[in-house]
Amino acid sequence: METFQIIVLLLDATLRVATPLVLAALAGMFSERAGVVDIGLEGKMLGAAFAAATVAAVSGSAWVGLCAGILTSLMLSSLHAYACVTHKGNQVVSGMAINIVVAGLAPTLGYAWFRMGGQTPALNGDSRFRGIVLPFAEAMRDVPIIGYIYAELISGHNIIVYMAAAAVPITAWILYRTRFGLRVRAVGENPHAVDTAGIQVDLMRYKALAVTGFLCGIAGTYLSTAHGAGFIRDMTAGKGYLALAALIFGKWKPVPTMFACLLFAFTDAVQARLQGVALPIVGEIPVQFIQALPYILTVLLLAGFVGKAHPPKAIGEPYIKER
């Protein structure tokens, strides 16, 4: 029973950690499937985290914060689009520029506005997304196994975790079952053909990047107003790059990408749990080794099990009409 509880609690932590990764990876999927490399996921998330925390602190409402986060991320995303779709700039450089600008700008603005060393004031009450207890969770708790899973694992998360869970099937549906999705994929594979069919390539890419901005905004908001309680310098801590890795890991497909995110999050949850615990035979494992575990696992899986990943064919290339 105890082992069972530990596993459920580990999975519970996995869901919390995976949420921003899933949202950011799906965001990256729209952009990359449309043929635009988006290394700026990190910066967009950070910008959204800052805007959401600032607005939530001032307005006292997490929902207003969410809107601000999405808006900021959308603006950064359209900047990226303007630089590398309209003006055919280098996509990696533009993305990196966004990361660097936000990493510097957010703490600077935070410092100027709140005088708290680049942080925003701690959020509480309605200015954060709190856990939602699903109906019957407490009543179900005593039902063996299923009740416990329902009460601990399914219930009690904040709204954004459920949004991320819903985002996966919705993204899959949009990409594979709608006209918009078909065009996004086509623009990333063969923009010339799309152009011949009378669809504006640049407009499609703008639209895809808008979706990217929207999802990144939610991911960033989650960091500062739901999982955390306030903005702190560099709080994304590489999650944007991790999401990008998960995207490649998942071969640019929604469900495998989600599993890749869950795997990263699970190793993270396990390493928190393994620290200082003496295991049979090997004894206590050093902190350094445990913390390297997620990365070792990533390399092993990428090298051995995933096989060849096929990126969208037109990725990274600005579309220039031949004359």
Partner 1 sequence: MIKKIAIGLIAAAAMTVGGLAQAEDFKPAIVFDMGGKFDKSFNEAGYNGAEEFKKKTGIEYMDFEVTQVSQRAQATERMARKGASIVVAMGFAQADAVKAAAMAHPDTKFTIIDMVVDLPNVQSVIFREEQGSFLVGIAAAMASKTGKVGFIGGMDIPLIRKFALGYKEGVMHANPKAEVIENMTGTTPSAWNDPTKGGELAQSQFDRGADVIFAAAGGTGIGVYQTAADSEKFAIGVDSNQDYLHPGTMLTSMLKRVDVAVNDAFTSAKDGTWQPGIKVLGLKENGVGFSVDQWNKNVLSPEMIAAMNKARDEIISGKIKVTNYMDR
- Looking only at residues 122 through 151 of this chain, which bind partner 1 when binding is defined by CB under 8 A? 122, 124, 130
- Looking only at residues 6 through 25 of this chain, which bind partner 1 when binding is defined by CB under 8 A? 9, 13, 16-17
117 vs 279: CA distance, rounded Å = 41
Decide if 55 contacts 64 (C-beta within 8 A).
Answer: yes
Q: How far is CA 80 from CA 44, 49, 87, 242, 268, in A?
A: 10, 18, 10, 20, 31
- Taking CB under 8 A as the rule, does residue 269 contact partner 1? yes
The least distance separating partner 1 from the CB of residue 10, rounded to whole angstroms, comes to 8
The least distance separating partner 1 from the CB of residue 59, rounded to whole angstroms, comes to 20
The least distance separating partner 1 from the CB of residue 307, rounded to whole angstroms, comes to 32
Write out the DSSP string of 7-40: HHHHHHHHHHHHHHHHHHHHHHHHHHHTT---TT
- Taking CB under 8 A as the rule, does residue 291 contact partner 1? yes
- Taking CB under 8 A as the rule, does residue 232 contact partner 1? yes
Nearer to partner 1, 11 or 67 (CB): 11
Of 15, 36, 20, 18, the C-alpha closest to 202 is 36
- Give the containing element (helix H, strand E) for 201: helix 201-221
Of the residues 63, 82, 111, 180, which one makes contact with partner 1 according to CB under 8 A = 111
Of 3, 114, 104, 10, the C-alpha closest to 55 is 114
- Taking CB under 8 A as the rule, does residue 199 contact partner 1? no
Nearer to partner 1, 229 or 262 (CB): 229
- Taking CB under 8 A as the rule, does residue 268 contact partner 1? yes
- Taking CB under 8 A as the rule, does residue 164 contact partner 1? no
Decide if 240 contacts 42 (C-beta within 8 A).
Answer: yes
Question: Residue holding tokens 């003006």?
Answer: 87
Q: By CB under 8 A, name the binding residues for partner 1.
A: 9, 13, 16-17, 111, 115-119, 122, 124, 130, 223, 227-230, 232-235, 237, 268-269, 272-273, 275-276, 287-288, 291
